[in-house]
Amino acid sequence: MKKVLVIFKWMLAVALLVVLLVFTNTRQATQKISLNEIKIKESADDFVNKQIVLNYLNEKSTLFDSVLMIDFNKEKLENLLASHPVIKEVEVFASQKGGVAILIEQKKAIARVKSNTEDYYLDEFGKKMQLCDHYTPKLVVATGNISAKNHAGIYEFIKEINKSDFWSAQITQIHFENHDILLIPRVGNQKINIGSFENIVEKLDNLYQFYKVAMPVKGWQTYSDINLKFNNQIVCARK
């Protein structure tokens, strides 16, 4: 008798599971999805917002109210949004009732490049990133004869100066001129020739000591050029 009761309970459980699956599949076959939420992760930048996401989805003819839940492909939507030039990562969530939520993390720009032919950003991975029509962050600007081969050097230099509150505030521009790299400071009218990014930590240390020791005595407006190209040497030209 006990065995019969156990078998009956198992059969009842299986039957209930089948009913539940049929009910779920039937509901998904008729349930339409709806976009309930677009959330942008908190960031210091403002490259993307909810309206930009909605406009992008409309441009790509992505509709929600007419799509059945059974036909909804969240991976496809994630890949579509990830193709946007300022979006870094996307997660899409769909509830059993057809509600869709989108979580977006935007890219971070670390420098702006204004070469002789192009104008764009470098992102936090040193990759090229297009400008944004509605938002312009305050960044170090790299100018002059710049190509893709210079991106790695610019990227590493920005990472280095961002370690220091002083240098991240003091350096406003990197200019590529012939075979030299010039730094343009916020304080002082000098052109600082570092030659290349090689041994940049040592060059910045030498420049900092020069600022600390010589500038208070000679004055910030005394020199027009500071040359750090040569190892352990600082060569200055007076105005």
CA-based nearest residue to 78, from 90, 96, 62, 64: 90
pLDDT single digits (tens) 99-134: 999 999 999 999 999 999 999 999 999 999 999 989
Query: Do the first three CATH levels of 32-106 and 109-238 match, i.e. the same topology?
Result: no
Compare 127 and 30 and report the one with higher pLDDT.
127
Q: At what angle do helices 200-213 and 151-161 cross, to 10 degrees?
A: 40
Question: Mean pLDDT lowest for which of 7-16, 51-60, 81-90, 101-110?
Answer: 7-16
**Which of left, alpha, beta for 190 (phi over 0: left; psi -120 to 50: alpha)?**
beta
Tell me the domain boundaries of the chain: 32-106, 109-238
Q: What is the pLDDT of residue 29?
A: 55
SS3 of residue 207 by DSSP = helix
The CATH superfamily assigned to 109-238 is: Cell division protein FtsQ/DivIB (3.40.50.11690)
- What's the confidence (pLDDT) of residue 21? 44
Least confident span in 26-35, 121-130, 196-205: 26-35
Q: State the chain's mean pLDDT as an integer.
A: 87
Q: Quick one: pLDDT band at residue 238, thresholds 50, 70, 90?
A: confident
**Per-residue pLDDT for 5 more than 60?**
no
pLDDT band at 220 (very low <50, low <70, confident <90, very high): confident
Mean pLDDT on 135-150: 96
Better-scored residue on pLDDT, 24 or 61:
61
Instruction: Find out whether 88 and 105 touch, Cβ atoms under 8 Å.
Output: yes
Q: Which of 24-28, 50-54, 58-62, 234-238 is predicted least confidently?
A: 24-28
% of the chain residues with pLDDT over 90: 62
Overall pTM > 0.85: no
Helix (H) or strand (E) holding 205: helix 200-213
Residue 100 and residue 112: Cα distance in Å, rounded? 35
What confidence category does residue 221 fall into, taking pLDDT thresholds of 50, 70 and 90?
Answer: confident
**Any idea which fold 32-106 has?**
Ubiquitin-like (UB roll) (3.10.20)
CB atoms within 10 A of CB 5: 9
Confidence (pLDDT) at 215: 82
